[in-house]
Amino acid sequence: MRKGISEVGVEDFVKAGLTIEEAKEFQRVLKEAVFGAKGSDPREVWRSLVAQRVLKPWHPHALHQLVYYSVYANWDSLTNGPPLYWFPSLDQSKHTNLGRLMEKYGSKLLETSYKDPITSFSHFQNFSVQHPEAYWSIVLKELSVSFHEAPKYILDTSNKSKHGGTWFPGSVLNIAECCLLPRTHPRKEDDSVAVVWRDEGCDDSNIHHMTLKELRERVMLVANALDAVFSKGDAIAIDMPMTINAVIIYLAIILAGFIVVSIADSFAAKEIATRLRVSKAKGIFTQDFILRGGRKFPLYSRVVEAAPYKAIVLPVIGNDVGIQLREQDLSWKEFLSGANHHPRSNNYIPVYQPVESVINILFSSGTTGEPKAIPWTQLSPIRCAADSWAHIDVQVGDVFCWPTNLGWVMGPILLYSCFLSGATLALYHGSPLGHGFGKFVQDAGVTILGTVPSIVKAWKNTECMKGLDWTRIKSFGSTGEASNVDDDLWLSSQSYYNPIIECCGGTELASSYIQGCPLQPQAFGTFSTASMTTGFVILDEHGIPYHDQACVGEVGLFPLYMGATERLLNADHDETSSVEIERVCDRADECILETAAISVAPVDGGPEQLFIFVVLKKGSSIEPDKLKILFSRTIQSNLNPLFKVNYVKIVPEFPRTASNKLLRRVLRDQMKHELSTWSKI
């Protein structure tokens, strides 16, 4: 039985890592904070402890654990919901983007029901779902979005074949230009710092800075060079880490009227080839190598193996590429020389296009058949920037860092969230797993730090961030995996328990449909609201929505979702493709009849784990561990070198419907039950 907060004492604090003198002083301060709480409600006790900063970022994590779990020792989560760790103050709320908007328009939109940003948030979110035109007409003015030709109106629902409606009909713009131009609101000036970065291994060097003007001129130089090599409308791939040059290339491709094809730098040659083929790319930007922990890993050679398309190759170090190029390929230096013929190489007239024009082709992970090619239009950047503005509270002056890649949806989301909100983009050219990344976060003055739960777990377990000061961080973001409460406790404690905004969405949505919000109390590893203008229901196994009750089921989104992709380039948007992993695994050994691949989140959080169920041919026999090795090898060589098979289970047959459809949910529920059982052993 865990002790309550009133029962812990000096001996417990010493066991948690304090000296006796420190423990005595901590006990005194703790008692004062507990006594000063408004009543004995654990939420009020924790609120008081956080407000008075009783727990410091440099205190041992064991002490943070002791206090947090002691405060909530007798908390009934089934009755009261998850324990809360962060509470917005009324004053804080009025200085958030959403709070400021609600204070200005709340009484007009919600009339007499409007009270304040905290009390009225849920009402306002519901209003945004029912009246998206009103919400978007206001939020557009808060972002750095300038139309070359203004929309006739916000939303046209007259075409019933378009379930999601037509957004901003008649409008014309170039979204890359919107990222690069100075503006009075949000305040962006030519000498504003647009990007900061540091290379791995240069921990003690100064942070590199690039102003908005410098970024714009660099992008325009690359745009001129693109015109010398490619034809308007060409799809051009980027397969390299998210460096300052990758960001410049991305914006230049869109500014010049081409289409970006996003490819993650972790993919094997076969996966690169698939994405180039599906997107019909005419060329690709890449690096000679990837540098991680002082080691070079080949990248250009994978691109060469993938396809014969023209490659423009950037050096990972210095000015010259460190590898022999094919005849049709260009070095970065040679490519840029193509702009020299232009009399004003640092100037460029943007290519303006209708708002529904495709600017970026992204891909699903590829775990469900051939990766789905998901086209982003110019609506998509507006959506993702608006959600970050509202839910993560990205403001002018913020420094926003999120270790990611332009090949995954979070890369473009981060880029647009910064440049359309007036924030500074922070990039670390290296691995985010070590002290070097953490020191960059400290030295760059990062105020918003995005994470993936498995990265946070690594930071906590290795103690690699010890001694660093992250107290300038006002909020964190988290996505990609299920979060672990204890890992999040550690993360939030690094900035005196500022909030971690959990985000869950998808590439096809260009955003998150459910997440946290700075106008609501937050609990570790949970979401607190549907995103602004988003409506959804939870469906049971028969497709019937639940109503106002705790439930487990599938999410059904309302169709009016601005920025969502309405089509796929290589598949029927309404059909689910066969599983590529299963196709690969089915061929791994002659004894296999069929396989079923599912992913399940671990009980204690972290990345979802890959489970393969196997039905063997009659009379065949093989050990699951041998299959696990075979499956891992074939998946890594044919699909993605980062994929890992966690568990293989041989079964006599698969559960199916009367029409022979595989019941994956039954297999997934079975594995969840087994994982839960194992965790208790």
Q: Give the tens place of pLDDT for each residue, 382-435.
A: 999 999 999 999 999 999 999 999 999 999 999 999 999 999 999 999 999 999
Phi, psi at 592, each rounded to 5°: -85, 130
404 to 199, 240, 426, 478: CA distances (angstroms): 15, 11, 11, 12
Tokens of 673: 């039950």
Q: What is the pLDDT of residue 38?
A: 85
Is 590 in a helix, a strand, or coil? coil
Q: How far apart are CA 180 and CA 227, in angstroms?
A: 19
Q: How far apart are CA 509 and CA 413, in angstroms?
A: 11
Q: How far apart are CA 205 and CA 430, in angstroms?
A: 15
Rounded CA Rg of the chain: 26
Tokens of 73: 């020792």
* Contact criterion met (CB below 8 Å) for 87 and 104: no
pLDDT above 70 (res 637) = no
For residue 577, what pLDDT band results from cuts at 50, 70 and 90? very low
Q: How far apart are CA 299 and CA 643, in angstroms?
A: 18
Q: Which of 34-43, 208-217, 236-245 is predicted least confidently?
A: 34-43
The DSSP bridge pattern shows strands 522-523 and 536-539 to be unpaired
Tokens of 555: 């999410």
In sequence order, what are the beta bridge partners of 363? 373
For residue 365, what pLDDT band results from cuts at 50, 70 and 90? low
Q: Which amino acid is at 446?
A: V
Contacts with 76 (C-beta within 8 Å, 6 or more apart), sequence order: none
| Residue 201 DSSP code | T
Question: Average model confidence (pLDDT) for the chain?
Answer: 92
Cis peptide before 343 (omega within 30 of 0): no
The DSSP bridge pattern shows strands 424-429 and 358-363 to be unpaired
Tokens of 416: 């647009």
pLDDT above 80 (res 219) = yes
326 to 236, 303, 311, 313: CA distances (angstroms): 18, 11, 9, 10
Q: Which amino acid is at 487?
A: D
For residue 634, what pLDDT band results from cuts at 50, 70 and 90? confident
C-beta neighbour count of 205 within 10 angstroms = 10
Q: How far apart are CA 23 and CA 469, in angstroms?
A: 23
What number of residues does the chain have? 681
Q: How far apart are CA 587 and CA 227, in angstroms?
A: 45
Q: Which amino acid is at 641?
A: P
* Contact criterion met (CB below 8 Å) for 400 and 415: no
In sequence order, what are the beta bridge partners of 220? none
Q: How far apart are CA 476 and CA 482, in angstroms?
A: 15
C-beta neighbour count of 251 within 10 angstroms = 25
Concatenating the DSSP letter of every residue in 410-464 gives HHHHHHHHHHTTTPEEEEEES-TTSHHHHHHHHHTT-SEEEE-HHHHHHHHHHTT
* Contact criterion met (CB below 8 Å) for 366 and 570: no
Residue 112, classified by CB atoms within 10 Å of its CB into exposed (0-12), middle (13-18) or buried (19+), is: exposed
pLDDT above 60 (res 575) = no
C-beta neighbour count of 208 within 10 angstroms = 15
* Contact criterion met (CB below 8 Å) for 471 and 498: no
pLDDT above 70 (res 606) = no
Which one, of 208, 210, 186, lies nearest residue 198 by Cα? 208
Which one, of 492, 544, 542, 487, lies nearest residue 516 by Cα? 492
Which one, of 432, 431, 394, lies nearest residue 416 by Cα? 394
pLDDT above 60 (res 311) = yes
In sequence order, what are the beta bridge partners of 613? 596, 649
Which one, of 291, 286, 290, 266, lies nearest residue 202 by Cα? 291
Give, for 365, the enclosing helix (H) or strand (E).
none
Q: What is the pLDDT of residue 283?
A: 97
Q: Which of 193-207, 218-232, 277-291, 614-628 is predicted least confidently?
A: 614-628
Q: How far apart are CA 147 and CA 204, in angstroms?
A: 43
pLDDT above 70 (res 491) = yes
CA angle 343, 349, 354 (to 5 degrees): 160
Q: How far apart are CA 260 and CA 290, in angstroms?
A: 21
Q: What is the pLDDT of residue 573?
A: 44
555 to 374, 505, 567: CA distances (angstroms): 20, 11, 19
pLDDT above 70 (res 15) = yes
285 to 237, 245, 248, 651: CA distances (angstroms): 6, 10, 12, 46
For residue 640, what pLDDT band results from cuts at 50, 70 and 90? low
Q: How far apart are CA 395 and CA 95, in angstroms?
A: 10
Which one, of 110, 82, 167, 637, lies nearest residue 381 by Cα? 167
pLDDT above 60 (res 629) = yes
The mean pLDDT of 330-354, rounded to a whole number, is: 89
Share of the chain above pLDDT 70, in %: 95
Q: What is the pLDDT of residue 675?
A: 78
pLDDT above 80 (res 608) = no
Q: How far apart are CA 478 and CA 484, in angstroms?
A: 11
For residue 254, what pLDDT band results from cuts at 50, 70 and 90? very high
pLDDT above 60 (res 99) = yes
Q: How far apart are CA 642 and CA 367, in angstroms?
A: 12
Tokens of 551: 């439930």
What is the distance, to the nearest Å, from the Cα of residue 615 to the centroid of all Cα atoms in its chain? 36
pTM of the model: 0.86
Q: What share of the chain is helix, strand, coil (3-state, %, to 5)?
A: 35, 20, 45
End-to-end CA distance of the chain: 19
Scan for tokens 């495709």, then name that residue: 358
Q: Which amino acid is at 329?
A: D
